[in-house]
Structure 1
Amino acid sequence: MNGSTYHDNDAEWVEIVEPQSQQRMYANLETGDCSWDLPERARLRPTNDRQWWELFDGRTSRYYYYNAKTKATVWKKPPVADTDIIPLAKLQGGVPSRECETQTSALPPPSSGRSTREPQRTAYAQDISPETGIVTVRSSPIPTDPMSASFKAMSLDRRLEQSMLGDAHDFFPSHSPIEQSYDTPSTISRNRFPNDSCSPTRSVERRSLEDEGAEGWSKDAPKLPLSDPCSKTLKKEVGTLFKHIQSYMGDRKTKNNPDQLALSICEGAAARVETADEACLLIVRQLTRNERVESLRKGWELLAIVVALSQPSKRVASQVHSFAERYADKSLDPPGVPVSSIASQVLRKLNKTTARPRPSLASVHEARVHIFHPPQFGATLDELMIMQKGRYPHLRIPWIESTLIDLVLNAGGSSLEGIFRVAADPEQIATAKARLDQWLVPAVSDAHVAACLLKAWLRELPEPLIPPSMYQRALDAGENAQEAAHCAALLSTPSSLVLARLIRLLQTLAKEECVALTKMDASNLAMVVAPNVLRCQSDDPAVLMQNTRREMSFIRTLIIHYDTTFSLET
């Protein structure tokens, strides 16, 4: 970085802070060139939280982005509009050049007083990535550019960790910033948390899988549980749990059926969150640096099954989420293993807020099928619209809603007593649900089956048709027809269309000639449907009871007064 490289003094520059020494320098927004002094006539842009540093991750050969203001680190390039991307990757060294990029680096400031002969412990920027968030310390006989010396705390999920575990100053033990290693939720390690009574200092010891070869794939079970080293219960379970995982992945000979192995793992994980945490971390460890293609494929498959049938704690879920997020890019798939597809399903299951199915051989098989054939139930409206785009490009509501509404009416729901209130045969429901997940119209002779499936589909939407942000407004609308209609109209597409088609069905069933046979008037229909459209966020029984009546009132008002003719265009 010498003066001759700054011929474009009219370009805009921004002041940046070198993370380790906190010394200030200036970066050219266009070229990424850095200078300790602002070039003459250069225009200085104020520092703000919309400025990102573009850096390079040597492990995955991908660029990533660091926000020095918020300390956020992300893989995806932030939107260009109203955002400054400062190309600082070249300061890391060893980075593939892009067009118009040169390998330059910042010289030490004149006042640094550093000796070029004295060996120094330096952390290189190319050792940092959103993958690990780790600063690696090594010796160097020559001082290197301070911009490539340390990028402390550039963790992909740093803010998430702080929100879950408290302020970072309390969470991490006090070590020299340059020698302290940080891990992220994507680096699973032996963890000791502040409330761990078996730790005399009650501090945190967090070592990344990337630090120790033994922490990756191993033929031997860990000596201590990964999720809680002090848990006596887990110490007894970890050996057997590890053997089951090894056997499923094909790393250990066994006579047991793979489905039975997966069921044993999931039954324990569903029964105790502690076991679910340990199972997830063990699988992640066995997937780390695993070079066996079949073992890798089966391991990812098992992880998808476990998170589909059990719910790990928020802490471990965030770790697994970050781990899976790293592999959701199809371009990074190893030969013969569709890791990105499975990782995407793992992310989807982790984000699911509704109850998991009970572990059984049937649910294990279903979870495996859903890896490559995502289900209709539990998917968001946006996901459903994307999934059906190739099959039904002109349909503006989810195919499954349109199909179930037709089945309710075609199977005689308008004349069947107790429609939407009477339960249906569980086996018929399961069979029909399986066909719907395969985009096949089930043969339904009992309208109760279709009605139960329609309620289940609405109930399992990750976000209800009336989202939390609109919930109170819907309650306040009550019996005010104009306000209730306005509230429905404010919903995003396709939520407004989905709600309109549902209300259209209920309006048909609420006609006098139908009510005479079904015994289900507008109030009765609103009573059974409202809990599937609105969800109260409170756990207070008194609030739940009071809001139930107001939810029913809102749906009843829509059934009686809402003009849904526009929904017929779909």
Structure 2
Amino acid sequence: MYLDIIKAISKGTNEELGWELLVMCLESVQPSKDIEEFLMKYFEDNCLLPTSSTRVKQYSTYCHKRLAFLLERPLVPHLPLAPSLQTAKEAPFQKSVFRSSLQDIMILQKDLRPDLKIPLILKTLAELVLLSNGCECEGIFRIAAQKSDLAILRKELEESAGINSRNITDPHLPACLLKEWLSEIRYPLFPSEFYDELCEHPDQWEAIESILARFPNTNRLVVYYIVNLLQKVVEKSDINLMPATNLAVVFSPSMFRYTGVFATPGLALSQCKIETQCITTIILNLPTDK
């Protein structure tokens, strides 16, 4: 599919439509490994070609970043939804509160909320979870929301830069979108340079606390904000059946996003358990006023 589209582009057959199709493909179809390197070079070359139009450069820059992300976090096979494809078509030409770095998100909201020290989209989704009684909802953050509803809410929040304008009654909807946002920020919430150090002390709060203190400021504040939200969920775990360990299982992959390769499945499972223990320790020990 990718190669067919590129062939059509090279023949001069509606170049912009071809790039639009590439963007939408990267939304729903993981490229096969044998063409990954070719695609990366193709996108990179078109970013730099002096003959490329401004729009083609925007398309190619977006595709290059999107593919780099997919190489770290491969797509789960799924049927594309109309709102998701529409959002993808617009993504190369507008900055978004999704799939951006924390730093870029903070710059994007600077005029809208200069007082806010965390991403507005995160605050909005967390408040929606609480306002819809998510803490008393069984399986909160574990049970999936309807994909079509999720895509619609995501598009609305992208267009509003994170401001919600409607009543949400299903807490699974903002809970799932919060997880999606976290898993898609450009760089892991836990910076990779701290990974080994954190995993050396997964059950030692004092050691973890000192490591968190060295995080970039926005990363640290986002960790505190998310964990404080999870602590509210834990307080009602007798109702929602989501104690700290369950929440850690759900959130540790998105917070760490380790990209290394393990020699055996057993080693991978062992490392996942260490990550989960680390998040559990943070949930159980972080002061609630952070």
Give the TM-score of the pair, scaled to structure 1.
Answer: 0.45
Deviation at 1:555, TM superposition (A): 0.9
SS for the counterpart of 1:404 is: helix
Partner of 1:318: 40
Q: Is the 8 A contact 1:419 1:451 kept in 2?
A: yes
Deviation at 1:534, TM superposition (A): 1.7
The alignment status of 1:503 with 2:227, answered yes or no, reads yes
Partner of 1:538: 261
The alignment status of 1:450 with 2:174, answered yes or no, reads yes
Amino acid of the structure 2 residue aligned with 1:467: P
Alignment: residue pair count: 278
Partner of 1:521: 243
For residues 510-559 of structure 1, the C-alpha deviation after alignment (integer angstroms, 9 at most, x for no partner) is 22xx2232222222222222222123433431112212221121111111
SS for the counterpart of 2:69 is: coil
Q: Is the 8 A contact 2:231 2:288 kept in 1?
A: no
Equivalent-residue separation in structure 2 for 1:528 and 1:359 (angstroms): 23
Q: CA RMSD in A?
A: 2.7
From 49, 54, 61, the equivalent of 1:344 is: 61
Deviation at 1:481, TM superposition (A): 0.8
From 173, 184, 193, the equivalent of 1:460 is: 184
Deviation at 1:351, TM superposition (A): 2.3
From 24, 27, 31, the equivalent of 1:305 is: 24
SS for the counterpart of 1:510 is: helix
For residues 444-464 of structure 1, the C-alpha deviation after alignment (integer angstroms, 9 at most, x for no partner) is 211111111111221223332
Equivalent-residue separation in structure 2 for 1:443 and 1:333 (angstroms): 44
Partner of 1:435: 156
Equivalent-residue separation in structure 2 for 1:545 and 1:460 (angstroms): 22
Unaligned runs of 5+ in 1: 1-268, 270-275
Q: Is the 8 A contact 1:465 1:533 kept in 2?
A: yes
- For residues 414 and 303 of structure 1, do their structure 2 counterparts lie closer, same or farther at Cα, with a shift above 3 Å needed? closer
Equivalent-residue separation in structure 2 for 1:308 and 1:423 (angstroms): 20
Unaligned runs of 5+ in 2: none
Deviation at 1:469, TM superposition (A): 2.3
- For residues 375 and 283 of structure 1, do their structure 2 counterparts lie closer, same or farther at Cα, with a shift above 3 Å needed? farther
The alignment status of 1:282 with 2:44, answered yes or no, reads no
Q: Is the 8 A contact 1:324 1:346 kept in 2?
A: no
- For residues 404 and 428 of structure 1, do their structure 2 counterparts lie closer, same or farther at Cα, with a shift above 3 Å needed? same
Q: Is the 8 A contact 1:283 1:303 kept in 2?
A: no
SS for the counterpart of 2:217 is: coil
Equivalent-residue separation in structure 2 for 1:382 and 1:486 (angstroms): 23
Amino acid of the structure 2 residue aligned with 1:432: L
From 85, 100, 104, the equivalent of 1:383 is: 104
Give the TM-score of the pair, scaled to structure 2.
Answer: 0.83
Deviation at 1:361, TM superposition (A): 6.5
For residues 148-200 of structure 1, the C-alpha deviation after alignment (integer angstroms, 9 at most, x for no partner) is xxxxxxxxxxxxxxxxxxxxxxxxxxxxxxxxxxxxxxxxxxxxxxxxxxxxx
Deviation at 1:280, TM superposition (A): 5.4
Equivalent-residue separation in structure 2 for 1:412 and 1:491 (angstroms): 32
Equivalent-residue separation in structure 1 for 2:243 and 2:80 (angstroms): 39
Partner of 1:419: 140
Equivalent-residue separation in structure 2 for 1:543 and 1:469 (angstroms): 20
Q: Is the 8 A contact 1:301 1:342 kept in 2?
A: yes
The alignment status of 1:477 with 2:190, answered yes or no, reads no
Q: What does 1:125-524 align with in structure 2 at a 5 Å threshold?
A: 269=1, 276=2, 278-279=3-4, 281-283=6-8, 285-286=10-11, 295-310=14-29, 311=31, 313-326=35-48, 338-353=55-70, 354-356=73-75, 358=78, 360=80, 362=82, 363-439=84-160, 440-441=163-164, 442-511=166-235, 514-524=236-246
Equivalent-residue separation in structure 2 for 1:408 and 1:364 (angstroms): 26
From 277, 282, 289, the equivalent of 1:558 is: 282
Equivalent-residue separation in structure 1 for 2:95 and 2:74 (angstroms): 17
Q: Is the 8 A contact 1:321 1:350 kept in 2?
A: no
For residues 465-516 of structure 1, the C-alpha deviation after alignment (integer angstroms, 9 at most, x for no partner) is 12332222111121111111112222223211111111111122222xx223
For residues 55-106 of structure 1, the C-alpha deviation after alignment (integer angstroms, 9 at most, x for no partner) is xxxxxxxxxxxxxxxxxxxxxxxxxxxxxxxxxxxxxxxxxxxxxxxxxxxx
Identity %: 26
Q: Is the 8 A contact 1:425 1:449 kept in 2?
A: yes
- For residues 541 and 489 of structure 1, do their structure 2 counterparts lie closer, same or farther at Cα, with a shift above 3 Å needed? same
Equivalent-residue separation in structure 1 for 2:85 and 2:151 (angstroms): 14
Deviation at 1:403, TM superposition (A): 0.9
Equivalent-residue separation in structure 2 for 1:394 and 1:466 (angstroms): 24
Which structure is higher in helix share?
Answer: 2
Q: Is the 8 A contact 1:284 1:320 kept in 2?
A: no
